[in-house]
Structure 1
Amino acid sequence: MIVAMTKVLLVLPSTSYRNGAFVLAASHLNLDITIVTNADTPSILPPNRVYRVKDWKIDDATFKELDKLRLDAVVAVDEASVVLATELSQRLGLPTNPIDAVEATLNKELLRSRLSKHEIPQPRYIEIQGHQHPEEIAKTLADAHIRYPIVVKPTSETQSRGVSRANSYSELLQAIEIASSVTHKDNLLIEEYIDGSEHALEGVLVDSELVTLAIFDKPEPLVGPYFEESIYITPSNLPDKVITEAKRVVQRSCRSLGLWTGPIHAEFRVTSEGQLFLIEIAARSIGGSCSKALAFEPRITLEEILVSQATLGDSHKTLQATQKRSYSGVLMLPTPKSGILLSVGNLKAAEATRFVTSIEITATVGSVVKAPPFSERYMGFVFAVSPGYSTTLAALRRARDIIEIEIDDLEL
């Protein structure tokens, strides 16, 4: 008897660091793979299994071809493709989150509004228009009882692009100018600054129930004026009581939004008094190449867990996945200034650092790189694993000190 292979459609953004990881995961699971992508580069799959789209729109002819494949699941690889993957799943009659729930996670003001209706602990906020008179904005802040320091954000950018802290009225004007310069939308978000440690929760929803796969600490304080990501370490050093509260808040947030299946990435802050504030939540897994810092028993990757749950209905694999008994961390290499990248040096010496397992440089020599708050891409990633939290952290910091990044002083 011939058993038909399970069929998965992977929606791959051209800008994702993780396309290969998802294709490899699907291959390991022995799935029949089809790809939708906005990339023009060659694919490892035969041309008849790759559908190229523009502006993330599927024309009727392409949809008819996809419909004929009788797919079992559609999997978004990164945030850029999550809306299209959700729309395709709905049109194909496959299980997926409501489109409005997914769209709410992609708009910071809409997210705050939806969560506030369910009393989710989060920063106080207001929405403004970039062209509003500054004195009118200052009055709106006062009426909302939001005091300095504050954080100004575009509503739809990622990777902390355009996000900055303001400690005064003059800095507020500068922060509004920065946020407005990186977005085509006029509306901006202003939030109270939450003074505390920052953390990330990685999980997956199985029939509306949150399964927490990992909690990351961000051991280097993100205090501004810009918020460039630096180091993630897991497992977390947070007290069990706080971890339990984080899981509870993220679960409540998912239900408030209407999310019930698939990956969840949430970020939160914890004050010195132990109070927790949700900063963001997304219907996707961790970005960049950070998923490589996660390793689960029995010898499975995060991508395999997500593809398995989506295609095979394998909640057992999700529920049984446990992190390996070690401290794993990832360093996102900083971009010290904007310009033309000339070189990234001393990599062999950095790789020789005890407990460093690998280094991945993702920026191309000769390309334009942008420093915070205008960063669009990560410079690269350093990974480390050790038996201790402090030794993993020290290894990542040591590697960062060794690596030399040379950038031409080009005015952008």
Structure 2
Amino acid sequence: MSTQERKKEAVYLIIEPYHDYGLELMRAAFEDFGLRCIILVEDFYDALHKKDYCAPIPTEWLAEQYHCPKDRALWVAQHIQKRFDIVAIIPWSEQSLELAMIFLKVLPIDWVKPETLARFRNKYDLKSYLRLHHPHIPMNASWFVQHAEDVEKLRASLPPKFVIKPIDGVGNQQVGFFSRDQPEVSVVNYFLASGLGRYVLEEFIEGTEYAVNGQTNEKGDVIVYSVLRYYHRHANGRPNVYTRSMHVPRSDPDFRVLTAYSESVVKALGLHRCPFHAEIRLDPEKGPCLVEIAARPVGNQLVILMRDAHGFAFDPLRIAVHYYLSEKPLDNCSLDWPRYDRTQALNVDGITDQSGLITAISGIEGIDHHASFRRWVSKPKVGRLIKATQDLPSQPYSFHLASQEADVDLLQDADRLESQLIIKTHGVDNSLRVKALILNITRRIVFKFKWLNFRLSMR
């Protein structure tokens, strides 16, 4: 049999999987389907930084890896199609969706339509689509803006309170909160700080914020995994910094309202065989309204917190892989709702007003040995540079608590544990700057060698 006549190996594509989620997705694909992957790397430097903090990827899981910036994607698609049978693509993170869309347009992959996926990277288009095609779903008003002049032109029609954020933003970054009565200079300052780009201006939604997490199956039916209640507080000039995410039991009257609303949104957007993470505010008078929705698993290791609630027979990443790679129904997701209802599960996000190098930490042991402690998502370490918390990437630490004891109050426990966690920092003075410069030069030399080796491993 000639080389041309040989059957091509079936593989799937995955974009920069250098994360615990990426590793688990690849593991499930290899163990459950026997499939190897082709890794696509869009940004070498960014990928290498992530790779340094990630466990090694077993070579048997990997078919090939390609350097694939967007302007090279069509060439890569044509090249790999000649050599492999591409059966799926796994865009597991927010940033991987845009590259995935290019491949979905040119490869015969039967999954979510690229125009559907595109809406999840454009906050303005997504809500405009819902308002136009599904007007029965409650939705707040929004406008596309690029600079302060655009906002000023809308002055007469602005809602009493509004937010401005990047149209493709992630991690709660660069979100500005305003009122109609504020002077124009506050909006000007926001754009000066945020830079040129495309933004969405949205009517502010009152009420408590929640997240509904789940999966759509081969028919597009919505499977809800969990509901989280978000807690925010004002910190460092930002009114909405995340501090807690608490599982909501089905006995809570808001649970059914939130899941019904999220189901209507997900179905309206046409998602199938895809995980989702929907953030919703529940206005006491107007009811639920979408804040944002993502076509990916919930982040910040909250997938693992869902497993604390349902039990570790439940594996949402393995379920996601099944639907990324297969159109076959999955009869059992191992959701244990009675266990979920009796389990308290809490994500604790740290906030600091300090900026500088961490020089000393006390109180770690108290958290590590607490009966409800489950894991560190991000553990503070001496020598790490931190800055005043304004968004998710600038949180100094994060950890999970979980308990099935009825008399335990995890919110109180979290407050007590945080009050005992003392982080001391040292401002970056001239001597530290010199040391940091020397260290940075050394790291850059090492990094350059790593980069070269990484680059040579790519096609």
Classify the TM-score, shorter chain.
0.7 to 0.9
2:156 pairs with 142, 149, 169, which one? 142
Q: Which runs of 5+ in 1 are unaligned?
A: none
Partners of 1:181 and 1:285 in 2: CA distance: 30
* Structure of larger gyration radius: 2
Quote the Cα distance in structure 1 between the aligned partners of 2:188 and 2:393: 19
Match of residue 346 from structure 1: 363
* Residue 409 of structure 1: how far off its partner (Å): 3.5
Partner of 1:9: 13
Summarize the Cα distance change of 1:55–1:347 in structure 2 as closer, same or farther, 3 Å threshold: farther
Quote the residue 2:29 is aligned against.
26
State the partner residue of 2:5: none
Are residue 401 (structure 1) and residue 419 (structure 2) matched? yes
CA distance in 1, matches of 2:416, 2:34: 41
- Equivalent of 2:246 in 230, 233, 240: 233
Q: Which moved more, 1:173-182 or 1:193-202?
A: 173-182
Give the secondary structure class of the aligned counterpart of 1:74. strand
Equivalent pairs: percent with the same residue? 16
Q: For 1:148-190, what per-residue CA distance to the aligned partner results, in whole angstroms no more than 9, with x for missing partners?
A: x3222222221111113224644764355335533541x3322
The aligned amino acid for 1:9 is L
Q: Give the match for residue 190 of structure 1.
A: 201
User: Where does residue 443 of structure 2 map in the other structure?
Assistant: none
Of Structure 1 and Structure 2, the greater helix share is in 2
1:273-296 Cα offsets, whole Å, 9 max, x none, are: 361111111111112222221114
Corresponding residue for residue 272 of structure 2: 260
Letter in 2 for 1:116: R
The question of 1:55 aligning with 2:69 is answered: yes
The structural deviation recorded for 1:70 is 2.0
Residue deviations 1:45-98 (CA, integer Å, cap 9, x gap): 329634142535535256523663324322122111123234334533222212
In structure 2, distance between residues paired with 1:395 and 1:37? 43
**Equivalent residue runs for 1:363-378 within 5 Å:** 366=383, 368-373=385-390, 376=393, 378=395
Q: Which shifted more, 75-84 or 260-269?
A: 75-84
1:198 maps to amino acid: E
Find the counterpart in structure 1 of residue 59 from structure 2.
46
Letter in 2 for 1:190: L
Q: 1:368 to 1:243 in 2, by over 3 A?
A: same
1:226 partner SS: strand
Alignment CA distance shift 1:103-1:176 (3 Å)? farther
Matches within 5 A, 1:228-377: 228-236=241-249, 239-240=252-253, 242-273=254-285, 275-295=287-307, 296-297=310-311, 299-317=313-331, 319-323=333-337, 324-325=339-340, 326-342=343-359, 344-361=361-378, 366=383, 368-373=385-390, 376=393
The amino acid across from 1:281 in the alignment is I
* Residue-by-residue CA offset, 1:207-264 (whole Å, 9 max, x unaligned): 2221111111114568983322221122347744x43332333233234333333011
Does the 8 Å contact 2:241/2:390 carry over to 1?
yes
TM-score w.r.t. the length of structure 2 is 0.75
Provide the residue aligned with 1:98 in structure 2. 113
For the pair 1:380 / 2:397, whether they are aligned, the reply is yes
Distance 1:311 1:399, change over 3 A: farther
CA pair 237-228 structure 1, distance change in 2 beyond 3 A: farther
C-alpha separation in 1, matches of 2:348 and 2:299: 13
Aligned mates of 2:250, 2:191 — CA distance in 1: 33
Q: In structure 2, the residue corresponding to 1:376 is in which secondary structure?
A: helix
Partner residue, 1:69: 84
- Please tell me the residue identity of whatever aligns with 1:142: A
TM-score by length of 1: 0.83
What RMSD, in angstroms, separates the aligned Cα atoms of the two structures? 3.4
CA offset at residue 370 of structure 1?
4.0
**Using a 3 Å threshold, how does the CA distance of structure 1 residues 193 and 99 change in structure 2: closer, same or farther?**
same
Q: Any conservation in 1 of the 2:377–2:397 contact (CA below 8 Å)?
A: yes
Instruction: Answer with 363-372 or 104-113: which moved more.
Output: 363-372
Question: Aligned partner of 2:374: which letter?
Answer: T
Asked if the contact 1:7/1:311 (under 8 Å) is kept, the reply is: no
d(CA) in 2 for partners of 1:10, 1:337: 37
Name the aligned partner's letter for residue 262 of structure 1.
Answer: C
Distance 1:229 1:334 in 2: 8
Q: How far apart, in 2, do the equivalents of 1:264 and 1:204 lie? A: 6
Between 260-269 and 80-89, report the one with greater CA deviation: 80-89
Aligned match for 1:201, one of 202, 205, 212: 212
